[in-house]
Amino acid sequence: MSERNKIVGLALLLALLIAGVDQCVKGLVVRSLALNESLPIIPRLLELTHTHNTGSAFGLFRQAPPGILLGLSVLVLGCFLFLIKPYLTSRAGLAVTALVLGGAFGNMIDRLTRVEMLPGAARHYVVDYIYFHIGDAFRWPVFNLADACVVVGVGLLIIVSLRQERGKVATPGGDPV
């Protein structure tokens, strides 16, 4: 088995673990808090808040038809898989792949299994629960562990790709450092 195949297999295993943890936490939130109920963790900074997100990341595209959200998700995942391919022989590639796919799997499970009946339509949703704010001055949209994993994974991908590009430029002959 090639090194790349080993890394891909381990990344998929870790992604499933991340998705499983995400689903467990979402289940605890749904069982413990009523919809829109909050539990302060660090007063005026961090709360657990049970919300339903019928849009995409951070509530964007809430009014978009479900087919558009699905198509956008497939497009973004395809772009990610194309971008990550050169890094699949490294630990950084393993981490990025596990985080992004784990987060995507976690939210996709919600999107496929959770339905909210709205006036005139049924909308699939994702359970969000992490609410970060600084008093009333700054309020971040409510998100979940899966969202955080995707954002951290994409951030790591950007760092890894910038470091590789910088290494190509800085090294005589164009070989990456």
Q: What is the DSSP letter of 143?
A: B
Q: Do 19 and 105 touch, CB atoms closer than 8 A?
A: yes
Q: List all residues 6 or more positions away from 38 whose beta carbon is below 8 Å from its beta carbon.
A: 47, 48, 49, 50, 131
The catalytically annotated residue of 110, 128, 136, 175 is: 128
Which two tokens mark 42?
């660090």
Is 147 labeled as catalytic in the residue annotation?
yes
Among residues 108, 95, 104, 105, the alpha carbon closest in space to that of 155 is found at 95
Residue at token pair 């995707």: 150
d(CA 28, CA 50): 10
Residues 101 and 176: their CA atoms lie apart, in Å, by 26
Specify whether 128 is catalytic.
Answer: yes
Determine the Cα–Cα distance for residues 113 and 91; give it in Å rounded to an integer: 33
Look-up of token digits 């973004």: 76
User: Which of these is catalytic: 22, 136, 147, 175?
Assistant: 147
Supply the DSSP string of 89-103, one letter for each residue: TSHHHHHHHHHHHHH
- The catalytic site residues sit at 128, 147
